[in-house]
Amino acid sequence: MAFYQRNKKIRELDNTGFSANNQNFDTRFLNKDGTSNVIKTGINPLERFSIYHYMLNLATWKFFFFIFLFYTSINFLFAIVYTMVGVDHLHGLVQGSAIQNFEEAYFFSAQTLTTVGYGRISPIGILANTISSLEALTGIMTLAIITGLLYGRFVNPKAFIAYSKNALIAPFKDGKALMFRLAPTKNSNLSELNATVTITMQVEEDGIYKNQFFPLPLQLDKVMSLALSWTIVHPINEESPLYNLTIDEIIEAKVQVIVFFKAFDEGFSSIVVSRTSYTWQEIVDNAKFNPMFRSSSTGDAILLELDKINDFSKL
């Protein structure tokens, strides 16, 4: 494409963390949730997978479902072991049918695992006592791990930021600009916000297509605080790598917009970061965002309508 010939003065980036080599990728570099769209291979799966980080970043409902599943499964396993050893080795167990015996063994396992121990059922013999001792140890270790994960999830600094689904090419002053919108979703106070935006596109150089990265100068890349929405604006002028590109050329170059956002969260008293990206399929030409905040019905506050963060109108 003609981009490289008419924009040679644009400075290329080589410190993005993604390789600008002679390969061209049709997939996105960064997922919408900010995670890298990279699958690692070549080493043992246990060496490249961190269960701790996985559990910290797991969705809340999945996290508690995983704990519930682990809890019921391990009790089920120990109930089978107690049943195989023989329910006559559990003093105080009310024997009945096979299902009733298993039910009694299951809830004795739950009491042992959590070290509750109501006292009605107790193990008899070296084998049953050994099994219950190992289960009690497992319960102590499991409780410590779950407590650590819960604490880690609770105090883990996160930037609760929502982004517009699409990036727009909209009229701006006497020309055009690439813009997208973000807004805080929690009642946290963010200050000293900083946004960095990079684009990648497939560029033909000496007959070879390769991915190149370019910085996008922003109209405003820093704000002191974020109470409402913030529309990030990149003016498309002579300093822009998108200068003179039509929407068809943007699609042809498979342009991706990579966003890095950093702020100070006063509640966490820590720096928080957030990332997202927009592919060429998510860039809408000749459109503008609709307002997403207004006065409340009582007139004494500002209503930020987060469900309208991606509302836009075609021009």
Question: pLDDT by residue (tens digit) across 72-111?
Answer: 999 999 999 999 998 888 888 888 888 999 999 999 999 9
Q: Does 291 have pLDDT greater than 70?
A: yes
Length of the chain: 315
Block residue for tokens 């497992």: 138
Q: Same domain for 96 and 203? A: no
Q: Are residues 31 and 135 in the same domain?
A: no
Count: domains in the chain: 2
Together in a domain, 165 and 257: yes
Residue-range definition of the domain harbouring residue 214: 3-38+158-314
Q: Please give the pLDDT value at position 42.
A: 78
**Which tokens hold the place of 195?**
């946004």
Tell me which DSSP letter residue 36 carries: B
Statement to judge: residues 19 and 105 lie in one domain? no
- Do residue 33 and residue 168 come from a single domain? yes
Does any domain span residue 22?
yes
- Looking at 114, 134, 155, the residue that finishes a domain is 155
SS3 label, residue 201: strand
- Closest alpha carbon to 279 in 251, 313, 241: 251
150/291 same-domain check? no
Q: Same domain, yes or no, for 128 and 202?
A: no
Mean model confidence pLDDT for the chain: 86
* Selection from 281, 263, 285, 282 nearest residue 273 by Cα: 263
Which segments of 86-207 does DSSP mark as H helices, in order? 98-113, 126-155
User: pLDDT band for position 244 (50/70/90)?
Assistant: confident
Same domain flag for 227 and 193: yes
Residue 204, strand partner residues: 209
Minimum mean pLDDT range among 4-18, 280-294, 299-313: 4-18
Q: Grade residue 22 by pLDDT with cuts at 50, 70 and 90.
A: very low
Q: How far is CA 235 from CA 86, 148, 163, 216, 219, in A?
A: 77, 47, 19, 9, 7
141 and 166 share one domain: no
